[in-house]
Copies of this chain bind each other. A is one copy, B any other.
């Protein structure tokens, strides 16, 4: 059998030869506008691709009614009919470690059309970049995985372990697609998720969950506002108090993976709304935010800390003793994920990154949750996040990806899969 460097050259050549085909596949996927509820078109392209590759294909619409009783179900939707999950399996020759390559097919909405220079689903290529909603988060990563598998197949490299490719729905809304795959039995010895990491390696991922706080006041006419209690003024105390909790929680983080991150687990207050009339004292403010959850804690621990912290408001202002805050946990939720930096999948990714790019990779903790939390904690499949997309452009207008990185990532993933699953002796 040839050595690792020869293998690398062959994969690299194959990818170069198939650059047009890979770019075209990515473009078709972007143009298939797979926002929540509209994933079927893009999944059809994935199915056709997997069929051509000869994988064992499993396509099913996740059954919300069953999944909603799962303790880690976190979607506001229950009906996923018409939104299929797609899994393709490349069976190994045996006696090797299995791997899951997981990517989500759903994309967030394009948002304000005015802020896009082109049609948000154009898939237009310019200066080596492809533009469009979802190209970076994370169809580019999905194409890297497909190209990696195709290269391994084309070069007739017989893997020992099973390779499971997953194209899942609902990552952007709480992970129902990956949860459904786990529940259907898809587990492995490790997983790679090529979310847009700027090609950084993330063995840890911050989890997060959404909260909603109701701050009460007492109404009065604005002209005699001293007869009321302004929920807007009270909510300022609440916001400050929560920012202090963020400080407190982050002061405890000592993991070197967070060394360069100003706030490892932020609490973001993203939305505020209160009052109905300029001339009335506002009697109710609603605050919505996202609490970052450290890979070292459970969601339950983080929730409990927040709930206990807001109960302390009564010590700062007696108004909160009379009218305690109401806090709700709602909507999306992403489990934190963590595998040791010393995990062999991390070492292998780092080694192949170095081999391909001739420089040290950055190994960090991710500032956001992915399906990696579910895979690691619920699916017992240690997961690492590493992908070609541009972190800063995810969810933003004029989202793009650098096409070179899609192919370089494909190369690194192919080499890592080979390392991980092992090559069977050819007879």
Is A230 part of the binding interface, using a Cβ–Cβ cutoff of 8 Å? yes
Given A278-B290, A279-B210, A290-B279: A395 touches B221 (CB 8 Å cut-off)? yes
- Digit string of A206-238 for contact with B (CB within 8 Å is 1, else 0)? 101011100000000111111100101101100
Q: A210, A221, A280: which has the most chain B beta carbons within 10 Å? A: A221
Is A193 part of the binding interface, using a Cβ–Cβ cutoff of 8 Å? no
Select one of B212, B266, B285 contacting A223, CB under 8 A.
B266
| Complexed CA–CA distance, A391 and B292 (Å) | 48
Given A224-B367, A239-B233, A292-B223: A272 touches B282 (CB 8 Å cut-off)? yes
Query: Which A260-304 residues have C-beta < 8 A from chain B?
Result: 262-263, 266, 268-282, 285, 288-290, 292
B residues near A221, Cβ cutoff 8 Å: 367-368, 394-395
B residues near A288, Cβ cutoff 8 Å: 275, 278
Is A128 part of the binding interface, using a Cβ–Cβ cutoff of 8 Å? no
B residues near A272, Cβ cutoff 8 Å: 232, 235, 272-275, 282, 285
B residues near A277, Cβ cutoff 8 Å: 270-271
Interface size on A, residues (CB 8 A): 53
A232, B269: Cβ atoms closer than 8 Å: yes
A278, B285: Cβ atoms closer than 8 Å: no
Is A314 part of the binding interface, using a Cβ–Cβ cutoff of 8 Å? no
B280, A270: Cβ atoms closer than 8 Å: yes
Given A208-B279, A278-B331, A290-B279: A226 touches B262 (CB 8 Å cut-off)? yes
| Complexed CA–CA distance, A392 and B366 (Å) | 55
B270, A271: Cβ atoms closer than 8 Å: no
A223, B206: Cβ atoms closer than 8 Å: yes
B residues near A274, Cβ cutoff 8 Å: 271-273
Query: Which A281-334 residues have C-beta < 8 A from chain B?
Result: 281-282, 285, 288-290, 292, 331-332
Given A221-B368, A222-B268, A239-B233: A289 touches B278 (CB 8 Å cut-off)? yes
Select one of B226, B268, B281, B332 contacting A270, CB under 8 A.
B281
> What's the minimum C-beta distance from A316 to chain B, rounded to whole angstroms?
15
> What's the minimum C-beta distance from A403 to chain B, rounded to whole angstroms?
23
20 A–B contacts, CB within 8 A, in A order: A210-B278, A212-B278, A222-B290, A222-B292, A223-B266, A223-B268, A223-B292, A223-B366, A224-B391, A226-B263, A230-B268, A233-B243, A233-B269, A268-B280, A270-B275, A271-B275, A271-B282, A272-B272, A272-B285, A273-B273
